[in-house]
């Protein structure tokens, strides 16, 4: 359906205040709905006319179950409507997922953090999305719900397979992101998040890098390295992960890993940073993380 580019909220055909997942899925059912979470991307994109939205605006800010953070023995579940401020204020979550805490801490400004949701960060699919990077490092799964007949059907997608291009994901138009969940690492582990930018707030990443791994006897295992803003989608540096996996972290290995990472990424150069500068930042962040372990 084609819509005029400069819709004001009143120009959306319907405005649904969903109060349950089922209600939101029902409103999304015919694929012409647009979910409104915090609105920090949606309103900007609407005003700039960069995105055409379905005419039925579905506000999910009253769906309480989407705002829950639940922490079990071997499972953490963040409702899609959990905000960056919720992550920062949740005492326990920061210990379980320090990389995610750091990403929330470097996210935008306090005002934006109060509204920006983790579900919106995934659905918007920016290659520079911050909360996505530590969650990919945690092998997080994206939970998607849609109405199948009269019942809500759920499927889960690994976060690393969720993105297909800038602003594009495997989510279909009738699907609602309901949660992002992951298994916490137990034992001694590494979890870091780095983000470039001259200011501590309101910076879109020139490059971000997340790394997570289990640490035993100076060796890293189950290594995950993800980068933002170096590719059309959040990028997993699988070759560098494989090179580090199970190896003792010494100067020789660090040197080889940095060379591998630089050869593995091919970022664009733009007004915010040249290709060389982005590769240099990625290299520097990985060096810091590995040197600290060594």
Ligand X SMILES: Cc1cc2nc3c(=O)[nH]c(=O)nc-3n(C[C@H](O)[C@H](O)[C@H](O)COP(=O)(O)OP(=O)(O)OC[C@H]3O[C@@H](n4cnc5c(N)ncnc54)[C@H](O)[C@@H]3O)c2cc1C
Under the rule (CB under 6 A), what is the footprint of ligand X?
34-42, 44, 80, 107-108, 112, 115-117, 119-121, 123-124, 129-130, 176-177, 202
Q: Using CA atoms, how far apart are residues 239 and 237, in angstroms rounded to an integer?
A: 6
CB 138, CB 75: distance < 8 Å: no
CB 205, CB 175: distance < 8 Å: no
Closest distance of CB 287 from ligand X, Å: 23
Closest distance of CB 65 from ligand X, Å: 12
Q: Which is nearer to ligand X, 153 or 202 (CB)?
A: 202
Closest distance of CB 218 from ligand X, Å: 33
Q: Which is nearer to ligand X, 131 or 279 (CB)?
A: 131
Q: Which is nearer to ligand X, 107 or 162 (CB)?
A: 107
Q: Which is nearer to ligand X, 47 or 259 (CB)?
A: 47
Closest distance of CB 97 from ligand X, Å: 16
Q: Which residues pair with 248 in a beta bridge?
A: 219
- Structural element, H or E, at residue 110: helix 110-115
Kindly report the length of the chain: 294
CB 27, CB 56: distance < 8 Å: yes
Shortest Cβ contact with ligand X: which residue?
120
Closest distance of CB 96 from ligand X, Å: 20
Compute how many other C-beta atoms are within 10 angstroms of the C-beta atom of residue 160.
19
Q: Which is nearer to ligand X, 124 or 279 (CB)?
A: 124
Closest distance of CB 234 from ligand X, Å: 10
Instruction: Give CA separation, 130 vs 31, 81, 124, 208, 246, in Å.
Output: 28, 16, 12, 7, 28
CA dihedral (73, 77, 83, 84) positive or negative: positive
Q: Which is nearer to ligand X, 67 or 96 (CB)?
A: 67
């Amino acid at each position: 359906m084609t819509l005029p580019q400069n819709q004001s909220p009143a120009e959306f055909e319907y405005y649904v205040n969903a109060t349950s997942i089922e209600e939101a899925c029902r409103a999304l059912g015919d694929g012409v709905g647009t979910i409104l979470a915090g609105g920090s991307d949606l309103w900007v994109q609407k005003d700039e006319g960069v995105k055409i939205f379905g005419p039925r605006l579905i506000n999910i800010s009253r769906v309480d179950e989407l705002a829950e953070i639940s922490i079990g023995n071997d499972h953490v579940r963040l409702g899609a409507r959990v905000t960056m401020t919720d992550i920062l204020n949740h005492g326990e979550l920061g210990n379980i997922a320090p990389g995610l805490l750091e990403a929330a801490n470097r996210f935008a400004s306090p005002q934006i953090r109060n509204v920006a949701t983790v579900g919106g960060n995934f659905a918007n699919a920016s290659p520079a999305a911050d909360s996505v990077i530590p969650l990919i490092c945690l092998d997080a799964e994206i939970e998607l719900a849609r109405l199948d007949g009269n019942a809500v059907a759920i499927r889960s997608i690994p976060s690393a397979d969720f993105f297909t291009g800038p602003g594009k994901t495997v989510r279909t138009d009738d699907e609602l992101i309901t949660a992002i969940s992951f298994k916490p690492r137990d034992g001694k582990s590494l979890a870091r998040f780095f983000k470039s930018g001259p200011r501590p707030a309101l910076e879109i990443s020139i490059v971000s890098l997340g790394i997570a791994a289990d640490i035993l006897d100076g060796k890293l295992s189950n290594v995950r390295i993800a980068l933002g803003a170096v590719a059309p989608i959040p990028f997993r540096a699988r070759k560098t992960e494989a090179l580090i996996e199970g190896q003792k972290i010494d100067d020789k290995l660090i040197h080889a890993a940095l060379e591998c990472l630089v050869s593995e990424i091919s970022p664009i150069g733009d007004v915010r940073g040249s290709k060389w500068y982005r590769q240099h930042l990625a290299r520097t962040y990985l060096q810091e993380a590995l040197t600290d372990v060594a």
